[in-house]
Amino acid sequence: MDPAAARYPAVPQPRGHYESVYLQAADAAARTAVWLRCTVHKRPGERPVGSVWATLFADDGPRAAKATLPPEALAPGARGGPAGGAATIDRDGARGAIEDLAEWELRFEPAPAPSPPAAAPAPSPPAGAPAPRAAAPAQGAAAAAPAPPAAAPAAAGDAGAAAAAPAAAGDAAPFPYLPRRWMYAAPLPRTKAVCLLPAIRVAGRVRVRDRTATVDGWPGMVGHNWGAEHAERWVWLRAAGFPDRPGTWLDAIVGRVRVGGRTTPWIANGCLALDGVRHRLGGPGLIRATRVDARPDRCAVVLPGRGLTVRGVVDAPRARTVGWRYRDPAGSERHVAHCGIADLTLEVARPGAPPLRLALAGGAAYELGMRERDHGVPLQPYDDP
């Protein structure tokens, strides 16, 4: 199924469902970010209802607004979210308004394809040494064999995507968080997610309440998730536009879910795109090596992958964090603390190479979903839906 296609029209009437298409983009230098969501909420036995959410982050605090559409106004958007005049997120941009509280007109462009680091020059031979002789071709071999074709980037839902697959030009290929195709059809996990546009540049204008931002080529992404129940607890980390490596991005979801009355350990699913190569992080086989210490204003993670390990620390002051209510179709509630201008430091460990250290001040997205009520983040005055 098209990873961008809406799932809710095919959900049987007796079942519950939620779905979200969302845009995140940030200007780290200005400590300003935008987070837009188009969501669908369907209680068991009832008609689906759509909502539009808008948050603009700044140093002096977030501005937020939300509107819920009547069931008859809901229609599948180009990327799965609700449409009907309130808001759309499609392949080219995002447009919408929430009464007189918010309005935005944004367009998307592919991010420039990252260039791999230049190879170190070969050392010069000592003075007076004979020039090295070229190796003779093997018997029967062509004098210059063509290089093998590059592996295709992982498409959404692609089972067993290569741990390190070259990204397409502009990094436009979707990234499936779940590592196996069958997981997208299985009852567990109850939430499915795809990063539809992992690396885009966003331009345009967005206003939320009293704050207006001109968006001028901010690094961003578009995601799509759906399911029958939220995770028991989750963390979403997103970062792009590192000053030293502008083509690098990190996108990871780490969650704990309830199965048979018990809560699983943290399970990570994500990607680090580094120097034009995507490295899958986490997965069921790496649960024992995954570490998470998540609080509303700070998180430390260890995200193992194939051939590398990412260690990260994110700081998200409560004053720059927005609080939302997320409700399951069956009625249970989570509180969500989301900071779009968090500070992130990463250390990437690779065998045979010195640790790579990356930092992004004021441009990382950190989201914590939880059942706690004493987190200290003020909640927006909106229920879900």
Q: Where are the domains of the chain?
A: 17-114+156-370
- Strands of 7-144, DSSP E: 17-27, 32-42, 49-57, 63-68, 87-89, 93-98, 102-110
pLDDT value at residue 73: 85
pLDDT value at residue 91: 87
Mean pLDDT, the chain, integer: 86
Q: Is the pLDDT of residue 359 over 60?
A: yes
pLDDT value at residue 155: 33
Q: Is the pLDDT of residue 202 over 80?
A: yes
Give the lowest-confidence range in 130-144, 191-205, 355-369.
Answer: 130-144
pLDDT higher for 61 or 123? 61
Regarding beta strands 333-349 and 291-295, do their DSSP bridges make them parallel or antiparallel, or are they unpaired? unpaired
Structure tokens at 323: 């609080």
Residues in the chain: 385
pLDDT digits (tens, 9 = 90+) for 279-309: 999 999 999 999 999 999 999 999 999 899 9
| % of the chain at pLDDT higher than 70 | 83
- Which residue(s) pair with 336 in the sheet? 324, 369
Q: Are residues 271 and 281 in contact, defined by beta-carbon separation less than 8 angstroms?
A: yes
> pTM for this structure?
0.86
pLDDT digits (tens, 9 = 90+) for 209-246: 999 999 999 999 999 999 999 999 999 999 999 999 98
d(CA 226, CA 3): 11
Q: Is the pLDDT of residue 111 over 60?
A: yes
pLDDT value at residue 50: 93
Q: Is the pLDDT of residue 184 over 60?
A: yes
> Which of 21-30, 108-117, 146-155, 182-191 ranks highest by mean pLDDT?
21-30
